[in-house]
Amino acid sequence: MPDVWSQYSKKVMEHFKNPRNVGEMENPDGTGHVGNPVCGDIMELYIKVKDGIISDAKFKTFGCGAAIATSSMVTEMVKGKSIKEALKISNKAVAEALDGLPAVKMHCSVLAEEALKKAIEDYSNKSKRKRK
């Protein structure tokens, strides 16, 4: 029997209680905005890229415990990764890194993956424009 009954793993609760990398980023190189108010989750993910490596990531999230924990986890996971490596981070990987999510909350990890992909896409578009 767990000491505290929760639908979430200890790791999810830990990230929910102490989310990493919260807040806005000044002049991000890429921003990903996903979700909508109807489903109750909105995520904004910001990245800084230096020499093809994601040097920093931050987020702002309106959503449930799982949404906050997956946002926190995905920002931790991308830091120090190359763009190519970061694109390989799947929603399942985020969920696994949190020791799993309840089935009804898996969509939160999907949102985290999408936010990351959008942020990278935004970065790529911006750098293409710069090159032109």
Catalytic residues: 39, 108
Closer to another protein by Cβ: residue 44 or 113: 44
Total residues interacting with another protein, rule: CB under 8 A: 31
Phi, psi of 54 (to 5 degrees): -75, 110
Give the integer Cα–Cα distance in Å for 43 and 104: 18
Token reading at 123: 């970065």
Give the integer Cα–Cα distance in Å for 49 and 28: 8
Amino acid at site 117: K
Fill in the DSSP letter of residue 103: G
Q: Which of residues 42-81 bind another protein (CB under 8 A)?
A: 42-44, 59-68
Counting contacts by CB under 8 A, is residue 10 touching another protein? no
Single residue of 55, 90, 104, 125 touching another protein by CB under 8 A: 104
- Nearest approach in angstroms of CB 37 to another protein is 4
Contacting range for another protein; rule: CB under 8 A; set: 48-56, 83-91, 101-109, 122-130: 101-109
Residues with Cβ within 8 Å of residue 102, at least 6 apart in sequence: 7, 8, 66
Where does this chain bind another protein (CB under 8 A)? Answer: 7, 13, 16-17, 19, 22-24, 33, 37-44, 59-68, 102, 104-105, 107
